[in-house]
Each structure stands twice: as C-alpha cells, then as structure tokens.
Amino acid sequence: ETSIEEVNYIGALLRNGQHSCGVCIVSEGYTLTAAHCVSTASPASLGVRVGSSFRTSRPGDTVVGVSRILMHSSYNPSTIDYDYAILTLATKLQFGTTIQPISLPHHAEKIDDGTLTWTSGWGSTHNPNHSNEVLRTVEIEIINREKCRLAYASRIPVTERMICAGDYYNGGRDACQG
C-alpha cells in the first residue's frame, strides 16, 4: 500500500460514478488513460477523481468532469494496439501535494530491458487478504519485447507501441484491471 502523496500523478477514472480504470495526470487540464477504458463511453458518463489514496469516494475528494475524449485514431480494440486516450477535463486541476502531473519520458527516449520502474493503482489482487481499496504500488521490470511477443503469441500481437513490464514468468506483479 502507498499514499497519494507518493504517487500524486495518479487518479481514478469514474464511469457513471464508479471506479473503472486508472488515469495519469499530464497537466492541469488533461489526463491519460487506456483507450479500452473509454472506447464506448461518452464524456458525460465519465469523471476523474484525484488526490485520494482510496478506490471509493471519500468526503473532500476532488472529482472533475470530462468534456472530451481523444482516443488515438489507430486504436484497435481487437489487438489493443494504440491503447491510449487523452481526457480533456471540464475543470482545471489545482496542483498541490496530492495532485501533480506525471513526469513523462521524451519522445525518443529508450527504456532498456531490465529497467526497474513502478506502477500504481487500485487493480486486482490475487490474494483475498489484500484489498484493492487502498492505492498500491509495485516495482516491476521492463521485459524484452521479443520475450513478451512469445509469451503473448496466442493472445495478442505485441507491437512497437507497447511496453511489456511485470513479473510474468514468476507469478505476477503487474498493472492489472484498475
């Protein structure tokens, strides 16, 4: 478990008021999420909750509406290629200790295989004694794309736009459903 102060660039995508997926804050007016999380949604059905360590709403949470969904024009729901979308927020966020933009890599910046990185969210846990109510973070390793292609060959094509990360071969730390 972690606190929002440690990963203050993350938020919850709400669909009809319920937690649906995670988002990353990229600026005062925009968040980034997976296209598959919003592909069938209308802006009116979405909200973004930021500044909270909890999956469900608490008094004092910051919730803003979404005015526009910008999915990548090449997003393919069958292969999940180009699986990203920018959400334009209806109200600009006020930055503080619990709400900040994420630091993104430069366009051509290469992330080497084996690099340790972090993922955070309210995703599924396989252990019934671990709740996903409180924000979690885990250190994961960037996986060689060819190894990833072999591991997922029967499921989806792994493209140049995808980053493989986690602990697939040893039982499973990754970012999953939330």
pLDDT tens-digit map of 21-79: 999 999 999 999 999 999 999 999 999 999 999 888 888 789 999 999 999 999 999 99
- The pTM for the full model equals 0.90
The string of pLDDT tens digits covering residues 157-177 is 999 888 888 876 666 665 655
pLDDT-derived band at 127, boundaries 50, 70, 90: low
Supply the pLDDT for residue 178: 43
More confident residue, 6 or 107: 6
Lowest mean pLDDT among 10-19, 28-37, 119-128, 147-156: 119-128
Separation of CA 93 from chain center: 18
Burial class (CB in 10 A: 0-12, 13-18, 19+), 7: buried
* pLDDT at 131 exceeding the cut of 80: no
Task: Tell me the one-letter amino acid at 41.
Answer: A
Of 121, 122, 113, nearest in space to 149 by CA: 113
Supply the pLDDT for residue 99: 96
